[in-house]
Structures are given as structure tokens and as C-alpha cells.
Structure 1
Amino acid sequence: MYVCLCHGVTDRDIRAAVCNGATRMRDLAKELGVATDCGRCACAANQLRKDTLLQISEPELAAA
């Protein structure tokens, strides 16, 4: 699904970037251009970022 139409960024692109270390919105903006043009994607991109970070941390929590 496209999240940022201005830069052609999909949810997969955002999830991959977060998994590769883009943990802040600033990182996503720099790497993918998310929320740097019209800004309509900012809320959806931020939610995807948060969800992905939570999914990444869940295996660590289960191991503890």
C-alpha cells in the first residue's frame, strides 16, 4: 500500500527502513522523503514506524 504518494513510498519501504535502523521520523524523512512534501502521509508513516518498532521489540520481550 502506498503511504506517501509524493515520493512513491510504500508500507513495505517504511517497515524495511525501520528494520534497518530508521527509528525516528526524521530518519524516514531523510532516507525515504516521507512527510517532506505535502505532509499528508505523516500520521500514517509515524504509526507504521511505531508498529514496526513494537514488532521488532516483541521477540526481545518474549525471550526475557
Structure 2
Amino acid sequence: MYVCICNAVTEKDIHKAVKQGVSSIEQLSEQTSVSLRCGSCQSRACKVLETALSNSCVN
């Protein structure tokens, strides 16, 4: 599912970024460009990032 329509960032992209070491919304924005245009996706991106981070601790 798309999280950021402006930059075509998906949930899968966010999970992949976490696996590559991303651990903050700032790092995520740098790597994927999520939330850099209109910003309306930032809250959803944060939720997906939190989920991905918690899943990475389990795996």
C-alpha cells in the first residue's frame, strides 16, 4: 500500500529502509523522500516506521 503518493513510497519501501538501518522519520525522509512534498503522509509514515522498527526487534 502506498504511504506517500507524491513520491510513490510504499509500506514495503519503509520496511526495507528499516532493514537497511533507518531508525527515524528524518532518516526515512532522506532515504525515501517520504513526506518531503506536501507532508500529508507524515503521520502514516511514522506509524508504518514504528511498526517496522518493532518488527525488526522481533526478527
TM-score normalized by structure 2?
0.92
- CA drift of 1:36 comes to 0.7
Counterparts of 1:1-64 in structure 2 under 5 Å?
A: 1-59=1-59
Secondary structure, counterpart of 1:3 in structure 2: strand
Q: Which blocks of at least 5 consecutive residues in structure 2 are unaligned?
A: none
The root-mean-square deviation of aligned C-alpha atoms, in Å, is: 0.9
Across the two proteins, how many residue pairs are aligned to each other? 59
Unaligned runs of 5+ in 1: 60-64
TM-score with structure 1 setting the length: 0.86
Paired with 1:25 and 1:36, the residues of 2 have a C-alpha distance of 11
- The structure that has the greater radius of gyration is 1
